[in-house]
Homo-oligomer: A and B are copies of this chain.
Amino acid sequence: MNIIFTFKPPIEMQKELQQSFPDIRFHYFNQIEEGQSIWGEAEVIVTFGEDLTPQHINNAHHLKWIMVVSAGLEKMPLDSIQEQQIMVTNARGIHKKPMAEFTFAYILHHAKGIHNLSLLQNQRVWNHTLKTQEINEQCIMIVGTGAIGQEIARISQAFGMKVIGVNRSGKMVDHVDEVIQLDSLKEALPEADYIVSILPSTKETVHIYQYEHFQKMKESAVFINIGRGDVVEESVLIDALLNQEIAHAYLDVFKKEPLPADHPFWNMKNLTITPHLSSHSEHYLPRAMAIFKENLSSYLQKEEKQQYINVVDIEKGY
C-alpha cells in the first residue's frame, strides 16, 4: 500500500512512521508534481491542502483518503473529491491552543497599549499616565464556535470577560455566556468590545461583514480575524477603519496571501497585519501526525467512517 506526502516531514518523523507501520510504503515529495510517477498507485495522500487540483483527483485511481494537515479546505477540489467518494480528514482541533494564545496576545496588546509603550521606550520617555484598559468585565464576541472558538471562549471566561458565541444554529456550546445565531449577528454587535472572527471560507461566509456591521460596532471595538480573509471585502474594512467606525483591526488572514507589498493595508495606523501564523507552533506537525497515525490504524483495520478523527463533511466544507 502506497501513501504519498506532498511535503517532507522531518526525517525523525519519517522514521517513526515507518517503524509504526512497517508494511506501508511512504513516499515523501517536496511538492505534488514530483510524485507523478506513482500518483496512480496512492491509496492515501497527505497534504497541506493547497496543492490538489481536480486533475490530481481524477488521476489518482486508487485514492481512498486524503489527510489534510490543516483546517481550511477552500483550496481543495471538493466537487471532484465528492464525485469520487474520497474520504477527507483534517487537522482541526490542533490549532486551538496556539490560536487562542495568539488571540489573547493581541487582545492584551491592544488593552495595555503595548504599541505606544514600545514607541516610548525608543524615545527614552517615561510616561506614567498612559491609559491602559482592563479586559475583565469586557465583552468578547466569538464568531464561529468550533474547537478554536470554544478555546478562546474558555480563556475569555478565565479573564472574567462576558462571552457571546455566534454560530449558524444558535446551539449552546461550552464556555460561553450566551449564543446567538449568525443571522442575528448585526443586532448583537453593539455590545461587543472585541469581535473575533474564526469563520471558515464557505459560500455563506463570503463578505458576511458588511459596512453596516462595522457601523453597529462600538467606536472602541476591536475586530480580530484569524479565520479566513474573504469574510470581509477589503475596501469595506479600509473604509470602516479610515472612518474610525472601530478602534482597530488585527488581521492574520487575507483574500490574497502573501499580502502584496503595495497593498494599502500595510501602513494603516489602526490596522495590524500578521502573516497568517496564528496557528503556528513547534507542536503543529507532531500533533497533526498523531491524528494521521490514529486514522491510519483505523484505515488498516477497515473501520467505519465514524471511527476516524476529524472526517470532513464535504457538503458543508468543514
Binding site for B on A (CB under 8 A): 97-98, 101-102, 104-106, 108-109, 111-112, 114-115, 117-118, 120-121, 124-128, 130-136, 154-155, 158-160, 257-259, 261, 266-267, 272-277, 280-283
Contact = CB atoms under 8 A, between A and B. Distances in A.
A158 B158 contact: yes
A109 B257 CA distance: 24
Contact of A259 (B104, B118, B126, B267): B126
A159 B111 contact: no
A101 B280 contact: no
B98 A132 contact: yes
B258 A130 contact: no
Contacts of A121: 266, 272-273
Contacts of A135: 101
A105 B109 contact: yes
Given A101-B111, A273-B121, A281-B134, A258 B159 contact: no
A158 B259 CA distance: 34
Contacts of A130: 275, 277, 280
A283 B134 contact: yes
B97 A134 contact: yes
A293 B149 CA distance: 41
A230 to B, nearest CB: 18
Contacts of A275: 117, 120, 126-128, 130
Contacts of A120: 275
A133 B267 CA distance: 27
Contacts of A160: 97
B281 A132 contact: yes
A131 B154 CA distance: 25
Contacts of A283: 134
A74 to B, nearest CB: 17
Contact of A101 (B98, B108, B118): B108
A131 to B, nearest CB: 8
B105 A112 contact: yes
B112 A101 contact: yes
Contacts of A266: 121, 124
Given A121-B266, A124-B266, A108 B105 contact: yes
Contacts of A117: 274-275
B282 A133 contact: yes
A126 B258 contact: yes
Given A111-B105, A115-B118, A158-B155, A132 B280 contact: yes
A158 B277 CA distance: 22
Contacts of A133: 281-282
Given A101-B135, A105-B105, 6 more contacts: A102-B108, A105-B108, A124-B261, A126-B261, A133-B281, A133-B282
26 contacts: A97-B136, A98-B132, A101-B159, A102-B132, A105-B105, A105-B114, A106-B114, A108-B108, A109-B109, A109-B114, A114-B114, A115-B118, A117-B275, A120-B275, A124-B267, A126-B259, A128-B257, A128-B258, A128-B277, A130-B275, A133-B281, A133-B282, A134-B281, A134-B283, A155-B159, A158-B158
